[in-house]
Amino acid sequence: MCGAGKDDFEPLEEDVIKEKTKSTKLFKCTVCGFIHEGQEAPDACPKCGAKKRKFDELGKEAADKIYASDRTNDIHMEIIALASTI
């Protein structure tokens, strides 16, 4: 064993995605595509101003894809930052 403790490790990406989708809902503006994270849709879209009724709650599969995409984008940005230092 390496001697590292439980706190020395980061959770697997799948665990982070599962935890987020349990506690948070995602809503998509049908006018501009803005994604809102919260327990309910906002009163107005911060991007285009559309009313609350223009938001659709995303299902579990769609939400999982959004969270996975966020993590992939973070990894790409880390790679770009590292490449720019070379």
Domain contains 61? yes
pLDDT at 59: 95
Work out the pLDDT band at 72, boundaries 50, 70, 90.
confident
Give the pLDDT mean for 50-72: 91
Cross-strand pairs, 77: none
d(CA 59, CA 49): 23
Let me know if residue 6 belongs to a domain. Answer: no
CATH code (residue 79):
2.20.28.10
- Residue 7 domain-assigned (yes or no): no
Question: How confident is the model at residue 86, as a pLDDT?
Answer: 84
Contact indicator for 67, 53 with CB cutoff of 8 Å: no
Residue 63 is encoded by which pair of tokens? 């939400």
| Rounded Cα distance, 75 and 63, in Å | 19
- Residue 10 within a domain: no
pLDDT tens digits, residue range 22-58? 568 999 999 999 999 999 999 999 999 999 999 999 9
Alpha-carbon dihedral 13, 65, 55, 42, rounded to 10 degrees: 10
Determine the structural domain holding residue 72 and report its residue range. 15-84
Please tell me whether the overall predicted TM-score, pTM, comes out greater than 0.75 for this model: no
**Domains contained in the chain, number:** 1
